[in-house]
């Protein structure tokens, strides 16, 4: 079974600084997707960024980028120029590319932005 | 507006009193699923449905039922709720195609006393 591990329950960063959230996963599949979701206090689940496993290039979305290390099964999220609105719970998630579309989530990392 | 709706958003109930949390999507998605979110555990899948009349268990199905009689609706049923089902519940839907993302509902906070 696939598992996703986020080893940092909480992180904090100064506004305008850069922070990296860690995620590791375990799977025997070769074709899959990885995601980072943001959950602000409103509880809404917001997709931040996705990475297709067969793509070597790391995904980027504005201030958000990932470091995808397929061999190491590592998928970290870097937030540049942190803003107060980035404060939230962040979840790393995995999904196979075939069959059932289940998302397997990590435990979450609560990110605090210090002004 | 494309969206997944859930009702109710908040519910406090007592042990053993049957309840249903409704979920509806307006995107004509084939795939729908339910997750529960608990502190330190992230989100875990309860049940999912690949299409109308096709449902299957996820990772934590005990104590829950679902049905998919219409494509747009996927209700979650707790026939005899217990305190360990106190949680935050999310419904999600996804269209066909590997690249398509899952759309999540706003969540339902359930407390079972």
Q: What is the full DSSP assignment across B17-41?
A: --EEEEEEESS--SEEEEEEEETTT
Around Cβ B82, how many Cβ atoms within 10 Å?
A: 11
A103 touches chain B (CB under 8 A): yes
Q: Do A97 and B98 touch (CB under 8 A)?
A: yes
Interatomic CA distance for residues A107 and A47, integer angstroms: 16
Q: Which residue of B has its CA nearest to A49?
A: B101
Distance from CA of A112 to the nearest CA of B (A): 17
Q: Are A17 and A80 in contact (CB under 8 A)?
A: no
Q: Does A30 lie at the interface with B, CB-CB under 8 angstroms? A: no
A to B CB pairs, distance under 8 Å: 53
pLDDT per residue as tens digits for the range A34-84: 999 999 999 999 999 999 999 989 999 999 999 999 999 999 999 999 999
Per-residue pLDDT 10s for chain B (113 aa) are 889 999 999 999 999 999 999 999 999 999 999 999 999 999 999 999 999 999 999 999 999 999 999 999 999 999 999 999 999 999 999 988 767 789 999 999 999 99
Question: For residue A39, what is the nearest residue in chain B, using CA coordinates?
Answer: B106
What pLDDT shows up at residue A19? 98
């Amino acid at each position: 079974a696939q598992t996703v591990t986020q080893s940092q329950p909480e992180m904090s960063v100064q506004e305008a600084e850069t922070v990296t959230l860690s995620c590791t996963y375990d799977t025997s599949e070769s074709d899959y997707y990885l995601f980072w979701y943001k959950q602000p206090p409103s509880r809404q689940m917001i997709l931040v960024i996705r990475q297709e496993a067969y793509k070597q290039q790391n995904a980027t979305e504005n201030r958000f980028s990932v470091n995808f290390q397929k061999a190491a099964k590592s998928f970290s999220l870097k937030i540049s120029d942190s803003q107060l609105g980035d404060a939230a719970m962040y979840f790393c998630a995995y999904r196979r590319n075939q069959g059932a579309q289940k998302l397997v989530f990590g435990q979450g990392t609560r990110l605090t932005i210090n002004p | 507006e494309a969206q997944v709706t859930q009702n109710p958003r908040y519910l406090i109930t007592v042990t053993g009193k049957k309840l249903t949390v409704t979920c509806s999507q307006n995107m004509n998605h084939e795939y729908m699923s339910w997750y529960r979110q608990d502190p330190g555990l992230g989100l875990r899948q309860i049940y999912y449905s690949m299409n109308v009349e096709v449902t299957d268990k996820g990772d934590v199905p005990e104590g829950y039922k679902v049905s998919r009689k219409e494509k747009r609706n996927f209700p979650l049923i707790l026939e005899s709720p217990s305190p360990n089902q106190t949680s935050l519940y999310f419904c999600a839907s996804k269209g066909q195609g590997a690249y398509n993302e899952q759309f999540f509902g706003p969540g339902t906070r359930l407390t079972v006393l």
